[in-house]
Amino acid sequence: MNGKVLYANRAARFLLEHWGIKEGEELPQSLRNDIKRIISQKDPEHLEINIEKVTYSLMFYADPEDDCVDIYGFDISCRVRAEEELRFQNERLEKLAELKTLEYIEVNEKLTEEVTGRENIEKTLRNNLQFLETLLDSIPSPVFQRDLNEIYVNCNESFARQIMGLPKEMVIGDSFMEFQKRVPKELAEIYYKHDRELLENGGSHYYETTVICADDVVRDFLFHKATYEDGSGKVAGIVGVMLDITQRKEAEKFLRKTEEKYRLAAEQTGQLVYDCEPKSGQIYWAGAIQELTGYSPEEFRQVDLDNWIEGVHPEDREKAWKTHEKCMENGGKYLEEYRFRKKNGIYFYAKDRGVYLQDDLNRVYRIVGVIKDTTERKLAREVLERSEERFRIIAEQTGQLVYDYDMENNRISWTGAIEELTGYSFEEFQGFTPKVWAQHVHPDDLEKIVKAHTRCIKDGEKYLEEYRFRRKDGSYICVEDGGIFLKTESGNICRVLGAVKDITERKLAHDELEKSESRYRLIAEKTKMLLYYDNYRDDRIDWAGAIPQITGYSREEFQKFRTDGWMSLIHPEDLPRVRDAHEYCLQHGGDFHQNYRFRRKDGSYFYVEDEGIYLKNEKGCAYIAAGVIKDVTEKKHTQEKLQESEERFRIAAEQTGQIVFEHDHGDKNIKWAGAIQDVTGYTIEEFSKFDNAALADHIHPEDRERALNELRMCQEKENKFRTEYRFRKKDGSYIYLEDSGVYLREKNGSIRKAFGVMKNITGIKLASEKLKESEARYRSFMTNFRGIAFQMGLDFTPLLIDGNIEETTGYKREDFITGKIGWYQNVLSVDREKLFENRERLVNDPSLFIEHEYRIRHKDGELRWIREILQNVSDPAGKKRILQGMVYDISKQKEAEESLAKVEEIRKKEIHHRIKNNLQVISSLLELQAERFNDKEVLEAFRESQNRVATMAIIHEELYRSRDNETLDFSAYLQKLTADLFHSYIVRKGDVDMQLDIEEVFLGMDTAVPLGIIINELVSNSLKHAFPSGRRGKIRIQLSRTEENSGNKNISNSTNNIGAKSSVDKNIQYTLVVSDNGLGFPENVDFRNTSSLGLQLVNILIEQLEGTIELERYSGTRFKIWFKDPYQSSENLSSIKGEIQ
């Protein structure tokens, strides 16, 4: 109750204008004081207010629950003036009558005292007569006296002049007939009749009539007539007084009109007005009777006090009646809310506000009041309470701090996410005053905040600032502080409401946004978009993006375009629509989205999509428009093609063999369309005559009752319907129909129309039966299937699994489907990584087909070997890709393979051992044969051959000793080979040093044998020719793995191209360098074309390895060879290293 005006109707706005206020502002202080005084009393009070020459009557009712005051007012100026005039006339007449009565008494006393003397009596009578005549003339109301002959024997001046329009002397002695001319004829006859009855019966008469006065003005008079007697006690005539009641009549007429206004006002405001007499219990009702109660005014006027309390809800009745009894005992104000029953039995919430008026004995003699429907307010209050609770929760959940600062009392209240935002507890923060708050603002921001705050206090603007705030732990956060400053009537700021929210993340995002803006502009250019920023305050548009590519204009040319220039480039057919949308957004703000044709510089048009937003300032005016213009010519052409496609689809839909119907439940009419004749055999004319009964008759007898019951249940409970039944065609054959559609209902729930489709599903039914047979066969197949079939999503979530699951894994199908057991839980950990790798490859390559083997652990703990075949397929709907595969238990096969592998390994070792022995035999035979010759060249040839055989023998010896029969540790092999060569050529220790710089390399036998012979020949040449007798030096062998193309040589390897399942890594190649620092290779000898058998072997074997060889002659001799090993791969290398480890 702070005096603020919450609502005022049109009539009340005159008062607000006089006081200089508007809705939402506070009343003048003087009127607020009167309101407080009246509200503090028990009873409401009428208050009359004079404004200029108009008087208003105001009635105040306090509403403690809503914390407001209802004020009702009426213009009573006319009534006040009439009452004042009547009061003045009544007071005047009463005083005059009192005065005259006293004078009569005094005269009578004097006459009694002087009755002793006749002369004195006569004198006194004459004096009294003269006095009475003077007194009579002084009375303002007309007074007359008539005898039995209807002759005026006396009158006063007022009657003679005002009524008759004649001097008094001319009226006295005149007939009553003259007066009858002053009243209407019909009334004159009635008055004559009344006078005759009065003369016959005596007594007095009162009645009202209208009289045409001497000034020809019709006035209303109250006649008071009585008989008078002569000295013998007989009736001698009539005396009468005429009281002018014209003003009273006008006042009564005005009061009746005012009462009608009150009644209409009560009806228009939806209120029920009552006036009750407690003694009789009768109540006078007025206002919006039928609107509130449902009863007619005639019916409700029969409701008395007992009927009223019976209409109150049983749960509220006792409380309402107790309040009534209390007011009957003590008087005063009645205020209760209860539910009242309307004519239709429904209850509404009523607020009953009344006054119990008491007489001088403190007894209640009258009850007046108003009842209004507060159902909407009641519901609104509940919604408001829920809304306030949601607001509090939202404030906390959204991390905002809400404050309410009462500047007049210097009190501030805080709520919301206090601890989350500031680090202070709720109790600690309640002690924060504006001064304490300012101490927590960052020093660099404080001056800006104080200036903004001072400006808002002065101008009463909205407050919105950003600054840094210090939390309890000393850290700073960026906050946005927004509020509004409320003013009093005098224009002083009295209250500040606002909210503070943490925008630290937004600040950081803003910095990132500025960094990304340049990138975004670059992207816009690359994606062929046109960006604009239209600032209406300075009539400037900033353009960016792919301007030349889209428009044909240069950037400098296009920057000159303003709104009018931009509009001029829009196609004339599209311009009105775009302009209207632009004007609408200028007025209302919001999103702008238009497609139109835009003219390039060369005059050609292209389709664009213009999407933007119009921002409004506090005054509601658009001041900025920002957006993107995209070239959608291709999209437009695509849409046109799509529309053509949709038209073709519509035509095709008509040809799909369906029947469409519209059933009007009101007139029972059914409209049919579609492929009627194709489905039913009837023509459209024949089928149009079908009603519900005809349709039911065509349903197969075995399906009829079920189908009709299903449709009936849908009508009662659902908005959709669907059923299937067999339908008899015109030729008597039956087809399966699917009957489906929707019901359109009225507000009361009754069905207005039904729209539906009937389609022939005979083929589907037959296919369904075949499907059931197929499912049965599938179940039979899966029952006898010895493996497991499955489908899963790309995230490896199982979708389907069936087959010999329990025998293979020990677990049931449900364990995998429900996720209780994951398939990968059972896979052996060493195999799991490779399994995941293969499945990821499958996900990334839709065309890949994978078949691999791994081990799982059976539920009983036994290891089982599994072969899995996996591929990509589409799901049953054909919309997305899934993984499908099969799993077989190959444990027994693996056991057999392991047995065979062991046998094969033993066999290979035996072969290597035998080859090594045979080669050693050959070497021994060569040595024995050489003993027969003395020629050095022959002996040298034997020794070279013997070395070559030994080279191969060492390889087979190493393979025999190795755990892997297919690969050779070449570094170990070279150490033995070079040692044998030094021993063969009897090199003294210290003369020639052998330096091996070799990586750990594993080569296949097909590579190791020729490579060993090549090294044998090159090292042998160095030992023979590079170091003559007595010359010292060194021989160096380098072998390393290099990437293809890492050097200058590129070795093709067509033999490694063995398809998708090949594991050869074609990027691995090797570099072999054999060098010495001896005499050097002769300049005149071509090593590629020489008679030397050793070098010939080297070239042949290099070609066999598909390698490359080069000779470098500086600082001795240096042979460099590049080659690949077809056996080597990343997979084989991993397995080899694993075995070595």
Q: What is the pLDDT of residue 246?
A: 85
Q: In a 3-state reduction of DSSP, which class is residue 613?
A: strand
More confident residue, 339 or 784: 339
Q: In a 3-state reduction of DSSP, which class is residue 1021?
A: helix
Written as one string, the DSSP assignment of 907-953 is HHHHHHHHHHHHHHHHHHHHHHHHTT---HHHHHHHHHHHHHHHHHH
Q: Which CATH architecture has domain 657-766?
A: 2-Layer Sandwich (3.30)
Asked whether residue 1072 carries a pLDDT value surpassing 90, the answer given is yes
Q: What is the pLDDT of residue 386?
A: 67
Asked whether residue 943 carries a pLDDT value surpassing 70, the answer given is yes
3-class SS letters over 1076-1118:
ECCCCCCCCCCCCCCCCHHHHHHHHHHHHCCCEEEEECCCCEE
What span, in angstroms and rounded, lies between the C-alpha atoms of 311 and 345?
Answer: 10
Q: What is the pLDDT of residue 168?
A: 82
At 818-856, the pLDDT tens digits run: 888 888 788 888 888 888 888 888 888 888 888 888 999
Q: Which fold has domain 568-655?
A: Beta-Lactamase (3.30.450)
* Residue 751 and residue 665 in contact, taking contact as beta carbons nearer than 8 Å: yes
Written as one string, the DSSP assignment of 368-387 is EEEEEE-HHHHHHHHHHHHH
Q: What is the pLDDT of residue 187?
A: 64
Which CATH code for domain 967-1140? 3.30.565.10
Nearest Cα to 993, choosing from 1024, 1035, 1027, 1031? 1035
Which residues belong to CATH 3.30.565.10 in the chain? 967-1140
What number is the average pLDDT over the span 325-337? 90
Q: What is the pLDDT of residue 1047?
A: 44
Q: What is the pLDDT of residue 1076?
A: 93
Beta bridge partners of 1111: 1119
More confident residue, 997 or 563: 997
Q: What are the φ and ψ backbone dihedral angles of 345, each rounded to 5 degrees?
A: 90, -5
Q: How many helices (H) and strands (E) does the chain have?
A: 38, 40
Q: Within a 10 A sphere around the Cβ of 1073, how many other Cβ atoms?
A: 16
Q: Share the mean pLDDT of the chain.
A: 79
Q: What is the pLDDT of residue 121?
A: 59
* Residue 750 and residue 765 in contact, taking contact as beta carbons nearer than 8 Å: no
Percent of the chain exceeding pLDDT 70 equals 78
Nearest Cα to 1000, choosing from 834, 1111, 1128? 1128
Asked whether residue 399 carries a pLDDT value surpassing 90, the answer given is no
Q: What is the pLDDT of residue 43?
A: 56
Asked whether residue 535 carries a pLDDT value surpassing 80, the answer given is no
Structure tokens given for 803? 């087959």
Structure tokens given for 934? 């003395």
What is the maximum alpha-carbon separation in the chain?
220
Which CATH code for domain 267-375? 3.30.450.20
CA distances 31 to 10, 41, 59, 108, 391, Å, are: 20, 16, 13, 58, 35
Read off the amino acid at residue 61. Y
What number is the average pLDDT over the span 331-345? 91
Q: Residue 1084: which residues within 8 A CB-CB, separation 6 or more? A: none
Asked whether residue 313 carries a pLDDT value surpassing 90, the answer given is yes
pLDDT band at 861 (very low <50, low <70, confident <90, very high): confident
* Residue 788 and residue 802 in contact, taking contact as beta carbons nearer than 8 Å: yes
* Residue 180 and residue 187 in contact, taking contact as beta carbons nearer than 8 Å: no
Q: In a 3-state reduction of DSSP, which class is residue 204?
A: strand
Say which DSSP state 4 is in. Answer: B
Structure tokens given for 246? 């014209």
At 359-385, the pLDDT tens digits run: 878 888 889 888 988 888 787 777 656
Q: Residue 208: which residues within 8 A CB-CB, separation 6 or more? A: 220, 221, 222, 223, 245
What span, in angstroms and rounded, lies between the C-alpha atoms of 1009 and 921?
Answer: 18
Nearest Cα to 266, choosing from 238, 299, 234, 297? 297
* Residue 700 and residue 734 in contact, taking contact as beta carbons nearer than 8 Å: yes
What span, in angstroms and rounded, lies between the C-alpha atoms of 1062 and 1054?
Answer: 13
Give the sign of the dihedral formed by CA 668, CA 672, CA 678, CA 684: positive
* Residue 483 and residue 463 in contact, taking contact as beta carbons nearer than 8 Å: yes
Asked whether residue 53 carries a pLDDT value surpassing 80, the answer given is no
What number is the average pLDDT over the span 270-282? 86
Asked whether residue 647 carries a pLDDT value surpassing 70, the answer given is no
Asked whether residue 963 carries a pLDDT value surpassing 90, the answer given is no
Written as one string, the DSSP assignment of 384-435 is HHHHHHHHHHHHHHTTEEEEEEETTTTEEEEEESHHHHHS--HHHHTT--HH
User: To the nearest 5 percent, what fractions of the chain are helix, strand and coil?
Assistant: 45, 30, 25
pLDDT band at 322 (very low <50, low <70, confident <90, very high): very high
Say which DSSP state 276 is in. Answer: E
Q: What is the pLDDT of residue 124?
A: 64
DSSP H or E run through 829: helix 829-844
- Of these ranges, 227-231, 810-814, 1058-1062, the one predicted with the greatest mean pLDDT is 810-814
Asked whether residue 561 carries a pLDDT value surpassing 50, the answer given is yes
DSSP H or E run through 136: helix 118-138
* Residue 524 and residue 623 in contact, taking contact as beta carbons nearer than 8 Å: no
Q: Residue 114: which residues within 8 A CB-CB, separation 6 or more? A: 120, 121, 124
Percent of the chain exceeding pLDDT 90 equals 11
Q: Which range, of 252-256, 847-851, 982-986, 1077-1081, averages the lowest pLDDT?
A: 252-256
Q: Which fold has domain 388-507?
A: Beta-Lactamase (3.30.450)
At 112-135, the pLDDT tens digits run: 665 555 566 566 666 766 766 777
What number is the average pLDDT over the span 1091-1112? 89
At 698-731, the pLDDT tens digits run: 999 999 999 888 888 888 878 888 899 999 999 9
What span, in angstroms and rounded, lies between the C-alpha atoms of 616 and 619?
Answer: 8
* Residue 145 and residue 168 in contact, taking contact as beta carbons nearer than 8 Å: no
At 654-680, the pLDDT tens digits run: 566 788 888 888 777 888 887 888 888
Q: Within a 10 A sphere around the Cβ of 393, how many other Cβ atoms?
A: 11
Nearest Cα to 659, choosing from 763, 762, 756? 756
DSSP H or E run through 789: strand 788-792
pLDDT band at 444 (very low <50, low <70, confident <90, very high): very high
More confident residue, 354 or 4: 354
What span, in angstroms and rounded, lies between the C-alpha atoms of 737 and 679?
Answer: 9
Q: In a 3-state reduction of DSSP, which class is residue 756?
A: strand
For the chain, the C-alpha Rg in angstroms (whole number) is 60
pTM above 0.95? no
Q: What are the φ and ψ backbone dihedral angles of 368, each rounded to 5 degrees?
A: -130, 150
What span, in angstroms and rounded, lies between the C-alpha atoms of 169 and 166?
Answer: 8
Q: Please report where in the chains the tokens 């927590």 appear, as a residue.
A: 440
At 589-630, the pLDDT tens digits run: 888 899 999 999 899 998 999 898 888 776 777 778 888 888
Q: What is the pLDDT of residue 1117?
A: 93
Q: Which fold has domain 785-889?
A: Beta-Lactamase (3.30.450)
Q: What is the pLDDT of residue 88?
A: 74
Q: What is the pLDDT of residue 1115?
A: 83
Looking at domain 139-250, which of 3.40.50.300, 3.30.930.10, 3.30.479.10, 3.30.450.20 is its CATH number? 3.30.450.20
At 233-269, the pLDDT tens digits run: 788 888 888 888 888 778 667 756 665 665 666 666 6
What number is the average pLDDT over the span 201-209? 79
Long-range pairs of 357-365 with CB within 8 A, sequence gap ≥ 24:
357/331, 358/331, 362/331, 364/278, 364/327, 364/328, 364/331, 365/277, 365/278, 365/279
Q: What is the pLDDT of residue 1141?
A: 27
Q: What is the pLDDT of residue 176?
A: 72
What span, in angstroms and rounded, lies between the C-alpha atoms of 7 and 66?
Answer: 14
Which residues belong to CATH 3.30.450.20 in the chain? 139-250, 267-375, 388-507, 568-655, 657-766, 785-889
What span, in angstroms and rounded, lies between the C-alpha atoms of 966 and 905?
Answer: 10
Q: What is the pLDDT of residue 570?
A: 92
Q: Within a 10 A sphere around the Cβ of 371, how many other Cβ atoms?
A: 23
Asked whether residue 650 carries a pLDDT value surpassing 50, the answer given is no
Q: What is the pLDDT of residue 391?
A: 60
Beta bridge partners of 368: 275, 355
